[in-house]
Amino acid sequence: MTTFDPCMVCESTDFEPLKVSNWKITGVGDLDVSFGLCRDCGHISQNPCPSDDVIEAFYRELSNYFHPEPDWSPPPVPAAETTKRLVGAARRFKPGKGSLYGIGIGSGRDLIYMQRQGWDVSGCEPSPTAAKQAGDLMSVDIEVGFADECLTGGRTFDVIMLSHVLEHVAKPKDMISLVHDHLDDDGVFLLEVPCARQAHRLCLGWLTLEHLSYFSTDILVRLLEEAGFFPMEITLDDWSHKYPTVTVVARKALDRVRREAPYLNQYAANKDLMEAHLRIDRAHWHAAEARFQHLKTAYVYAAGVHTAQLFSETNLLNKIEVVGIADSSPLKVGKQQGGRDIISKDQFLAGYAGQHVIISSYNSETQIAEMLAAEGIPAEKIVRLYT
Ligand SMILES: [Zn+2]
């Protein structure tokens, strides 16, 4: 019987298992990943939580939170809705500007636009590659590490930004408290996370290794209020990402927020949501599986978490002789996934002898297909699974 970790929101260990998968993660190996629903508050999370070693290995070495083009420079006006929302909120709620600290800033795609608006920006990022890229882009030293390693001492800021980070964190309450500790008394917290709502808008493989929490709006508000924040503005966006998001602008409250009524248990609502999502998800994987049933041998292109999901959710590894797995990231080349060697794009092109190429990336399917076509791989040999 599984022993569950205490709920990240309410500390209960009364969890209902939703899904258990065995994923073959590049550089980590075979990993059982379990998702569950708290019966006492309704929070959806990975439970048991993966070990710190797995999480650290994943972020420090394997993940791709840097921009693939080293000389990339962001366009004058941000393209991403998230960036526009966060920049706009910072301007409206702190018109006088000041200091702004970003936690888990990746390659600095949001933070640079804050700097261009006149904010005195700084931040931290666990991936050294991404931190370097962001630092070079903004001519600012970005601290390499997790927030609790970097945000120490009595430093405070006018604004702290957490954009698509909290869902990656094993202890979200500690992270929110850390933000509270390091904000000025009237400081503003900018927070955006994927939102557990609208089952038909949740992407294929929405339950994924990197995301430990799947917040619904009510649960996020609860966490913020319990930590001493007043949520001032909540924006739901169902269309800009591959899944719905929720953006909260919250002000630091000097007194703890007092609430008379207990928080509503979201269990029933989230159970309905997850049943619908898992049903839709299975149908999507069946459809993907149908695209390669006629093949005997093939290359697989991309060695990410989505490939691990593909191997787990479909019969690909049993059905097809996989000649090799190609990936454009130098961090992955030379490692293995599912017992198959990961080769570079150049190695793949040098060894290519007319086989089919199954594109296993979900997020980059179109770009990879275009790249393969540009390299002369015939269209009938390129197998797309998702579009
Ligand atoms: Zn709970």
Binned at pLDDT 50, 70 and 90, residue 72 comes out as confident
The set of long-range contacts for 363-368, using a CB threshold of 8 Å and a minimum separation of 24, is 363/242, 363/306, 364/302, 368/301, 368/302
Tokens of 200: 């038909």
For the segment 278-335, what is each residue's pLDDT rounded down to a tens digit?
999 999 999 999 999 999 999 999 998 889 999 999 999 999 999 999 998 888 899 9
Q: What is the pLDDT of residue 136?
A: 93
210 versus 56: which is more confidently predicted? Answer: 210
For the segment 57-67, what is each residue's pLDDT rounded down to a tens digit?
777 656 566 66
What CATH number does the domain containing 344 carry? 3.40.50.720
Percent of the chain with pLDDT over 70: 95
* Across 5-19, 58-72, 236-250, 313-327, least confident range: 58-72
Distance of CA 171 to the CA centre of its chain: 15
Q: Where are the alpha helices (DSSP H) in 14-67?
A: 52-57
What are the DSSP E strand ranges found in 81-182?
A: 99-103, 120-125, 143-144, 157-163
Q: What is the pLDDT of residue 262?
A: 85
Q: What is the average per-residue pLDDT within 128-153?
A: 93
Distance 59 CA to ligand 1 centre (A): 26
Distance 40 CA to ligand 1 centre (A): 5
Sign of the torsion formed by the C-alpha atoms of 208, 6, 149 and 153:
positive
Whether 47 is in a domain gets the answer no
Distance 14 CA to ligand 1 centre (A): 8
Exposed e or buried b for every residue in 196-233, given b needs 16+ CB within 10 A? Answer: bbebebbbbbbbbbebbbbbbbbbbbbbbbbbbbebee
Residue 90 shares a structural domain with residue 177:
yes
Residue 238 shares a structural domain with residue 299:
no
Q: State the pTM of this model.
A: 0.92
Residue 114 shares a structural domain with residue 169:
yes
Whether 48 is in a domain gets the answer no
Whether 196 is in a domain gets the answer yes
Q: Let me know the angle formed at the C-alpha of 269 by 263 and 275, rounded to the nearest 5 degrees.
A: 145
Q: What is the pLDDT of residue 61?
A: 59
Residues 6+ apart with CB under 8 A from 309: 21, 23, 205, 208
Percent of the chain with pLDDT over 90: 80
Q: Given 224, 254, 284, which residue is the final one in a domain?
A: 254
Residue 250 shares a structural domain with residue 297:
no
Tokens of 69: 């083009």
Q: How many domains does the chain have?
A: 2
> What gap in Å lies between CA 370 and CA 60, rounded to an integer?
30
What is the residue-averaged pLDDT of the chain?
A: 93
* Domain carrying residue 102: 81-254
Distance 316 CA to ligand 1 centre (A): 36
Q: Given 207, 229, 254, which residue is the final one in a domain?
A: 254
Distance 214 CA to ligand 1 centre (A): 12
Q: What is the pLDDT of residue 1?
A: 67
For the segment 21-48, what is each residue's pLDDT rounded down to a tens digit?
998 888 778 888 999 999 999 999 999 9
Whether 325 is in a domain gets the answer yes
**Listed residues: CB within 5 A of ion ligand 1:** 7, 9-10, 12, 38, 40-41, 43
Residue 302 shares a structural domain with residue 192:
no
Whether 1 is in a domain gets the answer no
* Across 77-86, 153-162, 328-337, 351-360, least confident range: 328-337
Q: What is the pLDDT of residue 343?
A: 96
Whether 74 is in a domain gets the answer no
Rg (alpha carbons) of the chain, rounded to whole number:
22
Residue 92 shares a structural domain with residue 240:
yes
Distance 106 CA to ligand 1 centre (A): 29
